[in-house]
Each structure stands twice: as structure tokens, then as C-alpha cells.
Amino acid sequence: MRTAFFDCPFGAAGDMLLGALVDAGLNVETWKKELAKIDLPAGSFSVRPEKLLRCGVHSTKLHVFLNADAAHEFDHKHGLTHEHHELSHDHALDHSHEHHHEHSHSHKGSHGHVPEHVHDHSHDHSHDHEHHHHSEHPHRGLSEILRIIENSSIKPAAKTLATEIFTRLGIAEAKVHGTTPDQVHFHEVGAVDAIVDIVGFAIGYDLMGIERSVVSALPVGSGTIASMHGEFPVPGPATLELLRESRAPLAQTPIDYECLTPTGAAILTTIAERFGSQPDMSAIDAIGYGAGSLNPAAHPNVCRIVIGQSVPKKGCEKNAPSARYRSELVAVVECNFDDLSPQVISYTSEKLLAEGVLDVFVTPCTMKKGRSGHMLSVLCRMEDELRVKEVLLAETSTLGVRSSVTERLIAERETKKVDVKTGDAEAQSVRVKIGKDLDGNVINVQPEFEDCASVARSTGTPLKEVLSAAARKARNGRDENA
């Protein structure tokens, strides 16, 4: 399985993570073509990768240049709200960027961090853009941004990931401000900036063929940041909420500025299958270093990505890929009990299925001292393993839960309706689940039992004849009499 390890000892921001992907081999031109499928106005932004050194480490800095006028056009084009909301997104601009206008002004910073809406706060300087205070900008709601992503023609995997990242960020902001995600707003320039970072990362992640990610412990830095709330200690509230919700481990560092931005935190906490040390890899395919805006003398301000082929847990080595079926690694979570009511077992099973696990089954077993018991087994995706364990500990009488990783082959599946005739009665519709290999060959047909039972009851036809007729109809497409 193609696995990425995001090693972030000095923090991360959206542009740093994108820079790491580019440094690891992401084709920038292909990436730009995909990003162009998002309906952003012409000239609203441009990107330029730059190879540079950070404390002697060769890395890639991805410069994102924004045009505030085009971003404002974007706001009107999509009919987005212009009301000013006190919940503007303070942290939408995670990296240095440029606006194309004429104006000069100075900024002064005392804490060494990178505020989201400025270029460089280490000294007084001039900018080639007209800078307006946030209160003068229109704002764009999270739901509106999600709609723009959904209406785009980017690849489904990238669309799903971008939506998940934006949603996670919106939930964190809403929690901080005591409101709902649909009330979270980005100011006009910040929305384009965040779309480039988040959607751009999702596109790059998909183009690089990454299937799973492990993320290191994350540093947050120290000092204070200037926000709409005034001076605030590092990390900012949204970043802290993202770390809390994902249970991400924090790393102690001597860094005296904000080194983990909300966008960086949202990306990393969304893609992380787990946090911790580098996963075992049978081979390393690529390494990339993404550079941040600052260049401190004490450490290389970079985040690193290592991409390679992961080694499954012992005993679960993945076989050679099948030419006929998809395969995936899944978690099997199990527990035993001999003192639990079958009704509770049934309730827990139904709850897990409703929450999206792949399968639940119960196996009778003999426990110690000859007591009759049950083993409850749950098949789930790797990212759901911890949640399933917590449900089992909360809902059952077990005091321990175990898990393992296994491989499964998956037939492609679809459900369609077929009409089944029974004697002289009118044809009735029955749902049938059809399994196919990757070449489209039908390998299994299973009529829906309840549909067939309903036909059998209403017509007096033997159930087995209805089941057989529905299966034949699904296979050959011709009308069948039961």
C-alpha cells in the first residue's frame, strides 16, 4: 500500500504541505490543470514553485499569488453573501502571498510568527497591493465553498478529501465561536486562498497515488498571535480544537512563533490514519521537503514527506494484487463475553452497522469453566478501528478489545430491479444484488429476500421459485415466470 509519512518537527502550513508534494515529484502542470476545474475566476491566483535552501536543506517553496479584485468578482459570480459576520475566519491566509494593487504600508511584528494576512512581519516594508481591513471585505460561507467544490469536475477522491478537510476546519471554527459550521465565513481573499491550499493539496495527494498517511507528533510553537480576538496565545483556538478533536500528540519545541496553522492542522488531522513514528516501509519511493515563509537560523523551517510501500502488520502481508478484484486492508475488532444479554449484543451490532462498519457477526464459543459465550467480530475500515473499540467497551460487558489487520478481495457490486412474473399475475419488481469482477463478468447474483418473500406471499407461489426466477432474470435479462 502506497503510504506517506508526514514528518513535521517544525510545524506545517497549507503551502508547506503542497510544497512537500511538489518536491516529492508532483507534476505541477498536471496539478494546475486539475485545479483549474474549480470555478475560480481567471487571474484570481497564480502559483510558482521555487527551489531554495532552509538551513542547508534543499526544499520547495510554493508561492501562491492572489488577486483581490478577481477574488471579489468570484464572490459576485457565485451569488455569495456579502453580509459582515462577526465570525470571519481569522486564519484563512496561512502563507505569504501577493495582491496585485498599488499601495504602500508597513507592518511590525514582535513575536516572529507568520500572521495569516501579511507577507513578512520582521521589519517595516512596502507591499504592491491595496490592503483593506477584514471588516471591509465580503464574507463567504463554508456551505457555499463546499457547494463550489461539489459542482467542480475534479476527481472524486480529491473532491471527497477537500470536502472533509474544509468541513473539519469549519466544525473546529464553529466550536470555538459557539455557532454552527454553516455560520463560519471566510473573507473574500481568504476563501480563494484556502481553496488553493486545501483543494490543491487534495488534488496533489490524489495525483501522487497516496493511499494512507501517518503523521508525526505536531509542534505548535509559542508566543502570541494577533487575531480578531486581539492578542492570543499560540496555538490559535481553531488549531487547538483540531488537535483536541483528533487526539493528535503534541511535540515540544523551542520555536518562538506560531508554526502550525489552522489549515495545516486541518489537512494533517484529516489524512492521518494514525499519529506517531514513521511506519515500516519495504521501499521508499520519494522524499519531499516543503519550505515555510520564515527562514530562522536555528532550524530548517520545512516539513518532510516520505512516500513508500508500507509493510502490513505481521501475519497480514498483502498478496500479489489480483487481476480480477480490488483488494484492501481492513481491521477486524473482536471481544468475548459470557455474561451479556443477547438483546444487548443485537443492539450493539445494529448500532455499529448503522454507523458504517463493513460487517458484524457473532460466533458461539465456550469460555473458561465450560461457560457458553459469544465472540462479537466487527469488520471495519482502518480509520474506524479506534471508534469501534470505544463502542464495544461502552456498550458491552467486555473489559478488553483486540484487533488485527487482514486483507480482503472485493467484488464490484450493484443493485438493480427486475420484474418477476408469477403465473397469470402481473409482474412484480424485485431488487437483486449483482457481484462482478473488474472486467464486468457476473460472478454472483443474490435476490433481496424480503422482496421475494412479499411476492411469494401475495401470489401463493413457493418462495424458492420466486428466488430462482429473480436470479435468472438478473443474469440473462429475459422475463422469467416463477
Environment class of 464 (CB within 10 Å of its CB; exposed 0-12, middle 13-18, buried 19+): exposed
Report DSSP state, residue 135.
G
Q: How far apart are alpha carbons 23 and 223 in whole angstroms? A: 30
Predicted local confidence at residue 224, as pLDDT: 87
Please report, for the chain, how many H helices and E strands are present, in that order: 12, 20
Give the domains, in start order, of the chain with CATH numbers.
2-310 (no CATH), 326-410 (3.30.70.1380), 412-481 (3.10.20.300)
Q: What is the C-alpha separation between 31 and 46, in angstroms, rounded?
A: 12
pTM of the shown model: 0.56
Is residue 327 within 8 A of residue 408, CB to CB? The reply is yes
Residue 346 makes CB contacts below 8 A (sequence gap 6+) with none
The ranges of the chain with pLDDT < 50 are: 70-138, 188-189, 315-318
133, 228 contact by CB (below 8 A): no
Left if phi > 0, otherwise alpha if psi is -120 to 50, otherwise beta: which for 304? Answer: beta
Confirm if 192 and 66 have CB atoms less than 8 A apart.
yes
What digits encode the pLDDT tens for the residues 359-401?
999 999 999 999 999 999 999 988 788 899 999 999 999 999 9
